[in-house]
Amino acid sequence: MAFETSRRGFLAGAAGMMGVGLNAGAAGAAVDNEALGFKLGVASYSLREFQRGLAIRAIRELKTPYVSIKEFHLPIEAPREEWERGRRQFERAGLRIMSGGNVEFPSDDMGDIRHRFEYAKTAGMPMLVCAPRHSNLAAIEKCVKEYDIKIAIHNHGPEDKHFPTPQSVLEVVKNMDPRCGLCMDLGHSARTGVDLVASLAEAGSRLLDVHIKDLANLSQSRSQCDVGEGAMPIVAIFKQFQKMGYTGCVNLEYEINGDNPLPGMQKSFAYMRGVLAGLKG
């Protein structure tokens, strides 16, 4: 059944799907091309207007199994049983949970920090994309070692008082456990004026995750557009991934057209897959 892209069609089609169940296995989630080592995935924040079952259906339509789960689709303050239920629902749909986030770490309280790692462990998240404070990094690193769960600190651009640039993250993680690194948000990074390709090279092995998007104007967050239609050096970025041997996820974080994101997400994936095909050739 073709995926209908209007919100009404989305809801109606998904309701029909719920009738046959989402646990049909991996048949609807074809493994993406990994010839270059890394994986094209989806940050589920892109589907924030839709409840979990509908978001899962949309990700399957994108023909990639890799997902980073945002709290919209698995709340961190939900009961443990709900964490387990959500994990099963993603996994039965043939999706691979690569990370969770972005997860805030607003407190220095160890109990609060451990709660977030318990969430990740129970929900099957091997990594937390996160927004910590400088004051709680030592406690977070302790939990990284205890739980064997990675953290990828997400830079949020000029408005971020803690970690605006990739370099601001790299500075604090350079002497931390190797499982502590950077989730480089390419859109937010571009708005700070850094050289994106050089920043990826600088990150090296500390680059644990990537959020990809495109901007028509590299200084304006509201200029986001489908990947390949803006000013981001997408081809050069993927060439750098190839050059540095990056093996993590490149997760599409699509922040526009919230009520009807799938057409733009499909176009973005088609463009990126075209770039990958060109690099392989």
Running along the chain, 281 residues long, what does each successive block of 10 average in pLDDT?
A: 40 35 38 72 98 97 96 97 98 98 97 98 98 98 98 97 97 98 98 98 98 97 97 97 95 97 97 92 71
What pLDDT score was predicted for residue 33? Answer: 59
Domain layout of the chain by residue ranges: 40-280
| pTM metric for this prediction | 0.89
Nearest-angstrom CA–CA distance, 178 and 71: 26
Specify the CATH architecture of the domain 40-280. Answer: Alpha-Beta Barrel (3.20)
Instruction: Please choose, from the candidates 84, 79, 40, the residue with its C-alpha nearest in 3D space to the C-alpha of residue 63.
Output: 40
Other C-beta atoms lying within 10 Å of the C-beta of residue 236: 11
Look at residue 37 in the predicted model and tell me its pLDDT: 78
Task: Quote the pLDDT of residue 172.
Answer: 98
Q: What is the pLDDT of residue 151?
A: 98
Give pLDDT, residue 22: 35
Helix pair angle (52-61, 262-280), 10° resolution: 40
- The pLDDT value given to residue 32: 57
How far apart CA 257 and CA 252 sit, in angstroms, is 14
